[in-house]
Structure 1
Amino acid sequence: MPVTPIDLFASLLHLRQGGTIHAEKRTVCSGHDGWRLTAFHAKTDADVHGGHWEVHPESEEVVSCLIGKFRLYLRPEEPEQEEEVIRLPAGTAAIVPRGRWHRIALDVPSSIMAVTLPQGSRLEARR
């Protein structure tokens, strides 16, 4: 099988059980099993659904900053707690715990890469 370059910003990579990887155009919405690697350019908070919290109940998520700088917020687990803020400059990553609500706020336009199991992922509007 020939090896060809993959445009990470136009594709989704599905990391499957058994060690295979499948690439497909980002416009395709599929129900592939396994981990998904997504890379994207974000110019504004709208590009990272900044008005919403996100959760992945089936897995942890690696969120990494390839270029730029942004803040990763973790929603408090108890009502009296504050949001946790993790600053991610270029070349850094954070692991969001399984089932932990989180969101991103850009400091500057950034290129972001995330890896997670997408099954059951949900968004919830911020209040």
Structure 2
Amino acid sequence: MAITLFDPLDTLVRLDAEARKASPLPRSPEAWREINTSHGERVIGMFAPVDPQDLHPEKWEMHPHGDELLFLLEGAIDVVLGDDDGHDQAPLALRAGQGCLVPVGTWHRLLLREPSRLMFVTPAGGTRMRPWRDGA
């Protein structure tokens, strides 16, 4: 049995419960495309955003195949949920040591308040994005 060492900021890990397997996947646009076409898996990873644009605040994101876990290890990020008409709901202040679950099918976006380390567990497959428009 071999143990694989990796940098969690440069590597995503695919979790396949059915196969009882976890597979490291070097982070890249191709890796994200591969994950987004998968089904029945989860992906775990980490971000270390320092600039607000690192979290694509100009886009809504939605996961149709499961809840998303966000756990903030360091820093400050606001989680903004969208209502059915695409309007922002009141932001949820996520601070170091806190986590939250974004329910399946919920449009959301993240706003960086200070440099952070964010861990996520996201359902693979079908993630959708759409532009955010202030007051749309």
Query: Is TM more than 0.5 here?
Result: yes
> Is 19-28 or 102-111 further displaced after alignment?
19-28
* 2:111 matches 1:110: no
Q: What letter corresponds to residue 102 of structure 1 in structure 2? A: H
Q: CA deviation at 1:82?
A: 5.5
Unaligned runs of 5+ in 2: none
Matches within 5 A, 1:39-118: 39-77=46-84, 83-118=89-124
The sequence identity of aligned pairs, in percent, is 28
Unaligned runs of 5+ in 1: none
Normalising by structure 2, we get a TM-score of: 0.84
Structure 1 residue 78: Cα displacement:
5.6
Instruction: Report how far residue 12 of structure 1 moved.
Output: 0.5
The structure in which a higher percent of residues are helix is 2
Which residue of 2 is the match for residue 121 of structure 1? 127
Structure 1 runs (4+) deviating above 6 angstroms are: none
Structure with greater strand percent: 1
Count of residues in correspondence between the two structures: 126
**Taking structure 1 as reference, are residues 6 and 67 closer, same or farther at Cα in structure 2, changes over 3 Å only?**
same
Instruction: Give yes or no for contact 1:76–1:84 (8 Å, CA) kept in 2.
Output: no
* 1: CA distance, partners of 2:88 / 2:23: 40
Normalized against structure 1, the TM-score is what?
A: 0.90
